[in-house]
């Protein structure tokens, strides 16, 4: 290791120490805090060191039991967490307790009970040191790999890309690559949080243990001796002791053992089994404290202390652990996408140890997805912290490829970088022009370059999300689109937000398993659970509901619990005679009449075989009675319209929009100012549609008058104002223009109102159908309602049981 690298690593430790003793969490605490999971890890340490036993009842009585654990069948206070972290922290606790005694002797008011803030801060500083050691070990691992000829591909490169991967690096570049890969890969993931704010958790110690195991395995796997089998077994047992979820890493010493003894076994020389079996015995011995603890608390050395329903091997949510917006690995730590590409590429080429590391990662992901609360509740994809050495390995491969490519073609690289910068600048400018033209994005709306840059950039990101969701979640969101018919944006909004199964009562008795089982469909929280066939929330007396505008709509129901489910659906039909057919994940689950005139509760029993872990889909098909004929009477006894016409307008306080519908089809483009459509009186065809921006050009009133004069008398005019267009109305110019199609509302007196009108050119004054409102939407209609206005049914809530 170069002195420069050592200085960087020591500086990292110094900065981490400074942050540990200065940064405050949301409760104002500095350093680690024994709370939630960390509280139960710490209880082992306090009980052993201070009481000399493993009876936690007195700690629970005095300092709390946040998960409300009861007693086990052996009569002991329950603790589902492991003893390994307490063993790792024991030296730090002992040293801290000695310092507390000294401080107390000097007259400081310090507690000797073992649960003081001084004890916790000093003890959990060990987690920061463990995290730093994990970075150091990963640095040594990458440095070793880059310096080892076995890291090179065993086969000659077959393409330019493979030649880049195998290109030699100088010693200085290898050391720099190893250093910044280890530091960057560690800081880009969840590890820092669990070294600082949540230092009471086991993740930092687990990252150190797995990093040490992977480093030793990569160095020794092809040169195994009895001593190395013993050491590798001890490291394996230690990693699983610190965190039993590290069990997939057992595959690494297993591979080393099989590779070492297989040739001897083929010769029927069974003496070669001695060293691997000795290593396995040592691993079991190191792990034995946890086995003894389980036996003491639960009466069996092999158990799942979290209880029934904690592991679902037959329905692993492995894809969610990788792609879900709720603490999925790639959305939470984007740099690790580069790591996974690197480990996949290395495994494809057969680089040293890559295939076995990929197998460990796959097993770890599957096991993490089988856990009930696969998202881990806390910051980021915390359970993947144990896979830090695998991510660093993959990141080293990817960065090595990038560095070799940059060095091989510097001119092309410079051109690509310059081109990317130009394209980015052009995209930003085009987006700004678009927003400026469509949204009137002027200075008094942004008032600063920060406001400008944030507005335009957020618009670009919003359009990207609406199109493809989170690009890092694409495999998961595309699978959701294919299976359930929802968009990638919807996946990013609702995956992981469970209605049932948020809490497993066997694991956390203090949790509320039905906490989110009530869906108030009018709540904006569930807006993305509903298809676009549902309208905006409406209030009907004490009931808030969403109207269903079309005969078919669907609702997405994320569920994290196996077994049958009962749905209680509160709904009412918009017209009598409506019948409902409900399907769940494509299978029919109910059919019958839907009540009209009053709210009713429909009960749908969903069998267990239809319920899937993840996002389920409830489809609602409505069979409507034959519609009654609707007269299309124009105002002023001017006869009938050949087609249905509707205009809706939102004023300054009503959404600032305008829509014109003809024959059930929207024909306007929501232009700023005034929107006008001319409809043929005989055929119902739209002759022309235009917008007039009277905000900037008040003279457009005259242009609008001349525009109306182009059409023959008797033509139907659909007219709407967007936003506060009435502010530009002047009685002298606006009144004659409105009178051309029989309108007479004095909009210049109510400039902020939404305004909609339907009239006939040449008709007498006052014959037009007009509507204007200050808040809400102004609506003028001839004939049937357009699709967005219709109501097939009203849905208020869904309760799941």
Residues 604, 639 contacting (CB under 8 angstroms) = no
DSSP structural state of residue 472: G
Residues 751, 687 contacting (CB under 8 angstroms) = no
What tokens were used for 783? Answer: 């004939």
Query: Between the CA of residue 353 and those of 134, 257, 364, 399, what are the distances in Å?
Result: 19, 14, 17, 18
What averages of pLDDT result for each successive group of 10 residues across the chain (801 residues)? Answer: 86 95 87 90 91 89 92 92 95 94 89 90 96 96 78 49 52 84 95 94 96 95 90 96 96 91 77 88 96 93 88 92 94 95 91 92 96 92 96 93 80 87 92 76 72 86 89 93 93 92 86 85 93 89 91 95 92 92 95 91 94 95 83 80 92 86 90 90 92 75 86 93 76 79 83 89 91 88 86 94 88
DSSP structural state of residue 763: P
What's residue 441's pLDDT? 64
Which residues lie across from 716 on neighbouring strands?
Answer: 679, 760
What tokens were used for 263? Answer: 């040739």
How big is the CA angle at 96 (ends 91 and 100), to the nearest 5 degrees? Answer: 150
Which residues lie across from 282 on neighbouring strands?
Answer: none
Residues 228, 213 contacting (CB under 8 angstroms) = no
Residues 333 and 452: their CA atoms lie apart, in Å, by 28
What's residue 192's pLDDT? 96
What tokens were used for 677? Answer: 């459509």
What's residue 91's pLDDT? 95
What's residue 583's pLDDT? 96
Residues 475 and 331: their CA atoms lie apart, in Å, by 12
Nearest to 113 by CA among 126, 101, 121, 125: 101
State the fold for domain 519-627+792-800: Jelly Rolls (2.60.120)
Nearest to 40 by CA among 7, 16, 11, 64: 64
If residue 208 lies in a helix (H) or strand (E), which one and from where to where?
helix 203-220
Would you kindly state where each structural domain of the chain is located, as residue ranges? Answer: 3-401, 409-468, 519-627+792-800, 635-783
Q: Collapsing DSSP states into helix, strand and coil, what is residue 583?
A: strand
Does the CA dihedral 258-264-266-271 come out positive or negative?
negative
What's residue 162's pLDDT? 46
Question: Whole-model pTM?
Answer: 0.85
Nearest to 624 by CA among 800, 784, 798, 799: 784
User: Which residues, other chains included, contact 456 with Cβ-Cβ below 8 Å and sequence gap of 6+?
Assistant: 428, 431, 432, 435, 441
What's residue 171's pLDDT? 72
What's residue 664's pLDDT? 87
Query: Between the CA of residue 441 and those of 305, 339, 359, 669, what are the distances in Å?
Result: 59, 41, 52, 19
> How far from each other are the two terminal CA atoms of the chain, in whole angstroms?
60
What's residue 161's pLDDT? 41
For the CA atoms of 248, 254, 259, 262, what is the dihedral angle to 10 degrees? -130
What's residue 164's pLDDT? 42
Residues 381, 202 contacting (CB under 8 angstroms) = no
Angle of helix 226-242 relative to helix 203-220, nearest 10 degrees, comes to: 160
Residue identified by tokens 């060990």 is: 126
User: Which residues, other chains included, contact 69 with Cβ-Cβ below 8 Å and sequence gap of 6+?
Assistant: 40, 60, 77, 78, 79, 80, 509
What's residue 249's pLDDT? 97
């Amino acid at each position: 290791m170069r002195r420069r690298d050592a200085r960087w690593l020591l500086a990292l430790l110094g900065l981490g120490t400074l942050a540990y003793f200065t940064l405050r969490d949301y409760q104002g605490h500095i350093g680690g805090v024994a709370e939630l999971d960390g509280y139960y890890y710490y209880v082992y340490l306090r009980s052993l060191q201070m009481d000399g036993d493993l009876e936690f009842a007195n700690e629970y009585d005095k300092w709390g039991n946040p998960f409300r654990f009861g007693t086990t069948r052996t009569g002991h206070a329950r603790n589902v967490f492991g003893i390994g972290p307490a063993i790792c922290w024991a030296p730090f606790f002992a040293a801290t307790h000695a310092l507390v005694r000294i401080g107390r002797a000097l007259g400081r008011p310090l507690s000797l009970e073992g649960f003081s803030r001084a004890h916790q801060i000093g003890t959990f500083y060990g987690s920061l040191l463990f995290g730093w050691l994990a970075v150091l070990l990963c640095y040594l691992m990458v440095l070793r790999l880059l310096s080892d000829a076995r890291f090179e591909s065993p086969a000659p490169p077959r393409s330019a890309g493979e030649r880049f991967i195998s290109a030699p690096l100088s010693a200085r570049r290898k050391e720099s690559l190893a250093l910044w890969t280890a530091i960057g890969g560690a800081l880009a993931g969840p590890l820092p949080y669990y070294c600082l704010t949540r230092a009471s958790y086991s993740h930092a110690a687990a990252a150190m243990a797995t990093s040490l195991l992977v480093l030793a395995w990569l160095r020794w796997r092809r040169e195994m001796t009895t001593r190395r089998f013993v050491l590798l077994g001890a490291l394996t047992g230690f990693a699983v002791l610190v965190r039993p979820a590290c069990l997939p890493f057992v595959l690494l010493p297993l591979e080393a053992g099989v590779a070492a003894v297989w040739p001897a076994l083929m010769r029927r020389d069974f003496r070669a089994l001695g060293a691997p079996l000795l290593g396995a015995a040592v691993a079991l011995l190191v792990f034995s404290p946890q086995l003894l603890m389980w036996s003491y608390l639960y009466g069996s050395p092999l158990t799942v202390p979290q209880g029934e329903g904690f592991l679902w091997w037959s329905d692993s949510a492995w894809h969610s652990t990788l792609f879900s917006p709720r603490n999925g690995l790639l959305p939470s730590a984007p740099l690790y996408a580069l790591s996974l590409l690197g480990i996949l590429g290395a495994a494809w080429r057969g680089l040293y140890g890559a295939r076995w590391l990929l197998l460990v990662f796959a097993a770890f992901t599957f096991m993490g997805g089988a856990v009930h609360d696969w998202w881990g509740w806390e910051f980021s994809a915390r359970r993947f912290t144990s896979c830090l050495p695998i991510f660093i390995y993959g990141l080293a491969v990817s960065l090595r490829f990038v560095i070799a490519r940059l060095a091989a073609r510097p001119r092309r690289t410079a051109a690509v970088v310059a081109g990317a910068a130009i394209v980015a600048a052009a995209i930003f400018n085009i987006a700004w022009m678009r927003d400026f033209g469509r949204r009137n994005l002027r200075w008094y709306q942004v008032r600063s370059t920060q406001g400008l840059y944030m507005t335009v950039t957020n618009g670009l990101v919003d359009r990207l999300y609406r199109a493809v969701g989170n690009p890092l979640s694409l495999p998961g969101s595309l699978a959701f689109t294919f299976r359930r018919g929802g968009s990638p944006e919807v996946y990013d909004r609702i995956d992981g937000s469970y209605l049932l199964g948020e809490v497993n009562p066997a694991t956390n008795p203090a949790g509320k398993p039905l906490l989110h089982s009530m869906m108030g469909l009018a709540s904006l929280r569930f807006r993305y659970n509903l298809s676009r066939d549902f309208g905006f929330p409406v209030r009907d007396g004490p009931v808030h509901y969403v109207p269903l505008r079309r005969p078919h709509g669907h609702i997405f129901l994320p569920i994290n619990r196996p077994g049958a489910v009962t749905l209680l659906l509160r709904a009412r039909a918009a017209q009598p005679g409506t019948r409902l057919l409900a399907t769940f994940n494509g299978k029919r689950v109910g059919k019958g009449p839907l009540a009209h005139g009053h709210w009713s509760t429909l009960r749908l029993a969903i069998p267990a075989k239809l319920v899937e872990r993840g996002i389920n889909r409830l489809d609602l098909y409505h069979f409507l009675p034959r519609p009654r004929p609707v007269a299309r009477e124009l105002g002023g006894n001017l006869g009938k319209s050949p087609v249905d016409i509707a205009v809706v307008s939102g004023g300054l306080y009503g959404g600032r929009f305008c829509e014109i519908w003809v024959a059930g089809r929207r024909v306007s483009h929501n232009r700023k100012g005034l929107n006008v459509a001319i409809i043929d009186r005989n055929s119902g065809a739209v002759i022309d549609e235009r917008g007039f921006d009277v905000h900037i050009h008040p003279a457009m009133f005259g242009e609008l008058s001349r525009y109306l004069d182009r059409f023959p008398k008797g033509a139907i005019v659909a007219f709407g104002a967007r936003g506060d267009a009435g502010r530009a109305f002047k009685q002298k110019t606006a009144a004659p223009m409105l009178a051309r199609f029989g309108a007479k509302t004095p909009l210049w007196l109510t400039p902020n109102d939404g305004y909609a009108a339907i009239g006939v050119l040449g008709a007498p004054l006052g014959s037009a159908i007009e509507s204007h409102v200050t808040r809400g939407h102004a609506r003028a209609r001839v004939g049937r309602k357009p699709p967005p206005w219709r109501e097939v049914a009203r849905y208020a809530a869904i309760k799941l049981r």
